[in-house]
Amino acid sequence: MSRFFTTGSDSESESSLSGEELVTKPVGGNYGKQPLLLSEDEEDTKRVVRSAKDKRFEELTNLIRTIRNAMKIRDVTKCLEEFELLGKAYGKAKSIVDKEGVPRFYIRILADLEDYLNELWEDKEGKKKMNKNNAKALSTLRQKIRKYNRDFESHITNYKQNPEQSADEDAEKNEEDSEGSSDEDEDDDGVSAAAFLKKKSEAPSGESRKFLKKMEDEDEDSEDSEDDEEWDTGSSSSSEDSEEEEGKQTVLASKFLKKAPTSEEDKKAAEKKREDKAKKKHDRKSKRLDEEEEDNEGGEWERVRGGVPLVKEKPKMFAKGTEITHAVVIKKLNEILQARGKKGTDRASQIELLQLLVQIAAENNLGEGVIVKIKFNIIASLYDYNPNLATYMKPEMWQKCLDCINELMDILFANPNIFVGENILEESENLQNFDQPLRVRGCILTLVERMDEEFTKIMQNTDPHSQEYVEHLKDEAQVCAIIERVQRYLEEKGTTEEICRIYLRRILHTYYKFDYKAHQRQLTPPEGSSKSEQDQAENEGEDSAVLMERLCKYIYAKDRTDRIRTCAILCHIYHHALHSRWYQARDLMLMSHLQDNIQHADPPVQILYNRTMVQLGICAFRQGLTKDAHNALLDIQSSGRAKELLGQGLLLRSLQERNQEQEKVERRRQVPFHLHINLELLECVYLVSAMLLEIPYMAAHESDARRRMISKQFHHQLRVGERQPLLGPPESMREHVVAASKAMKMGDWKTCHSFIINEKMNGKVWDLFPEADKVRTMLVRKIQEESLRTYLFTYSSVYDSISMETLSDMFELDLPTVHSIISKMIINEELMASLDQPTQTVVMHRTEPTAQQNLALQLAEKLGSLVENNERVFDHKQGSYGGYFRDQKDGYRKNEGYMRRGGYRQQQSQAAY
């Protein structure tokens, strides 16, 4: 088929047809004005008459085509939008569907779309990579399509049983996908190329038919060559297919049809032209292949991921025959590094180029100095792979980073003549003179600190309740091993400041870990163990306490920055408190005076201080020092923001004013989950400590109107418990403590004990302590002692005397303990009584006022304050602040009248003598 008829525009044929129709139209009316108002396209669309069925079905097919395109690019959001439009379009075509039946292509798209969504839903990895909008649209569309397909269940079943009936539809779909909008243009024009060719081919004679056949053969070859020419836009033959020649194709076709060329000269010219085109095509192909071989050097086509910025030009490593020297490699290294940070640079390919450069340097034996310099830049490029500070490294990049640092440390340990440091200038580097020590610019300590920060970011951004968090946490052993290796290296070659920094990193990975081996060795008596077990214990390495002591003391002595020393002190105190060394931790905290100026420190150090104070309070509680525990936990728990102060989460934005940037900064300060302190345990320890202090104090000052509160939070929990209209058995930890407090008020220590120590509280709180049985024993003892004190305060006015044996049996305490508690109460003047040693009884003095007397005293105090306020208001109204009444009142208050009477009485007594 000739290209003059297939590829030429149909504008001339349409104009000729419209011209023939215009001649037959009658003259008059608005005919003369119509060409001025309407274009040829508008006239053509008016002349095309389509049925309602065609219009509706065309609308459906257009929507289906859009859905299929969206399915190809996995755009579920677009699928959802178009599916909703498809449902509306089908509703409009309902009357036609009722007559004609449900169209086959509609059933096909419903079945294909449902299968497609099921595949996406089952692809777990693909769902994780979806963005938020696509994932939401997937679940919504899946529900809608399942619900919608119930009405077409029988049709879909028949379609799935006989899919071969839709072969024609497959062909149509492929044509639509390949040809694009050319079919729509032909339909709109109303005249296809085949019909045009049929009309024109009736006119020419036999000779013209031969000529046409020959031209078709020629044009088939020329079309093939043109298809190849289209791929090479820079070739010289592109001018032959210009738009001017395409516009003249129909004119040429008509000339050739009227007069067929029969001369031999024309045939020779056509043959020559065909030979020239074939020769040009062959030359272009050979030239393109040569260029590709030079550029790629045996490379293959690769699939590029969508969304990744394209590399403008991949830099070549070295040309063939280039001598690989130190200067050439360093020059290539600088070329690669110049693209670092620029827009459009593919960071992954940059890392690959640097790794390839390391291999080239190793193959050509350029020395370890060059390899160390390139590896420094590889690690820096790995850190730069994520340009955003908030994002964390991918697992494969993280593993590459660990491996690269280990390789770098291997080289540095194997070659002691290599010196690295950030104070070495690039001009003074020595990479090739092996007679002198090699000097490379770079800081291994900075790389390790950045690695530690990246590990923290990975743990912060991983779901703590998933298996993935556990897998990432296993990498901490590698991180600690790298830090230990760098520590050994810097102890040999590093400065004092660098040693302090790496010691702090080691401390930060040690201070929060409970040393179970050392704890077990303390519990096991050394006499009972064999010599082999003792040797094994010594070979296991030094205890964490000894390690912390050694590292921290070095920092205390050598560090010149306050921040590193402050962090070391806090970590040391935390480690002491974690292992129940209360007195060492307390003394170190008091001697450091950190509580005086900690408010001037940066937020991460303040978070560490809060964590240390909390651990100190828990340690005091385990030792039975409830007052110290309460004082240590008071600041954190009274604020109501323990979660935020400990860096374990953020409060709701509605409770605190902060913008998104501040929230991002605060999220980066959060402590990883494996460092968290159990907040429920913390609150329980605080409330139990407050109960053991507050309940005896409330019983002792029950009638005192001016008594102070030791713990506001504890009183708040008591008020909440009293407001409840229906009191059932306690469920939460707070309800258990409130119920125990009410029992302690009555002196019922057994009920209090059952509320504090039970299976539910053991599971939530007490079993989390390292020595849980020891803590429970201490708690029982404390509850018995404080219940005894509360009982004596509450019921002392009832008894004249009470036997200590009775108290001992009642509270299941031994006599010396009861004697000691009562003696302390009498010495501190908390209990007005005396001990009768022969009879072992407590004799009450009954000096405490009764309830009626307490009320009278309170009334007298209130009346006195009322009278004083009344006088002050009266004086203010009279304006007599500097006058007679003021002096008279002041004189009365100074007891001048009493002094005069007293002096008079003294004179009388002296005269009597």
CB 5 within 8 A of CB 197: yes
- For the chain, the structural domain boundaries read 52-162, 326-520+543-590, 678-844
Per DSSP, the residues of 9-36 read: -SHHHHHHHHHHHHHHSPS-TTTTTHHH
Band (pLDDT 50/70/90 cuts) for residue 617 is: very high
638 CA to centre of own chain? 30
Task: Count CB neighbours of 478 within 10 A.
Answer: 17
Residue 229 neighbours by CB under 8 Å, 6+ apart: 235, 237, 238, 241, 281, 284
Q: Which of residues 310 and 333 earns the better pLDDT score?
A: 333
Question: Number of helices and strands (H, E) in the chain?
Answer: 47, 5
Q: Residue 339: pLDDT above 60?
A: yes
Least reliable range by pLDDT among 10-24, 81-95, 529-543, 675-689 = 10-24
Q: Residue 123: pLDDT above 50?
A: yes
What's the pLDDT score for residue 888? 43
Q: Residue 133: pLDDT above 80?
A: yes
What's the pLDDT score for residue 227? 46
Q: Which of residues 343 and 195 earns the better pLDDT score?
A: 343
Q: Which of residues 453 and 524 earns the better pLDDT score?
A: 453
Instruction: Report the percentage of the chain scoring pLDDT > 90.
Output: 17
The token pair at 739 is 């119920």
pLDDT digits (tens, 9 = 90+) for 695-719: 888 888 776 666 777 888 888 888 8
What's the pLDDT score for residue 282? 74
What's the pLDDT score for residue 246? 46
The total number of residues shown for the chain amounts to 913
Least reliable range by pLDDT among 422-431, 708-717, 813-822 = 422-431
pLDDT digits (tens, 9 = 90+) for 640-668: 888 888 888 887 655 566 777 787 888 88
Mean pLDDT of 788-804: 86
What's the pLDDT score for residue 57? 87
Mean pLDDT of 415-442: 79
* CATH architecture, domain 678-844: Orthogonal Bundle (1.10)
The reply to whether CATH 1.25.40 applies to domain 326-520+543-590 is yes
Cα 566-572-574 angle, rounded to 5 deg: 105
Mean pLDDT of 346-366: 81
- At 418 the three-state DSSP class reads strand
> Could you give phi then psi for residue 843, rounded to 5 degrees?
-100, 120
Q: Residue 248: pLDDT above 60?
A: no
Mean pLDDT of 81-101: 88
Q: Residue 421: pLDDT above 90?
A: no
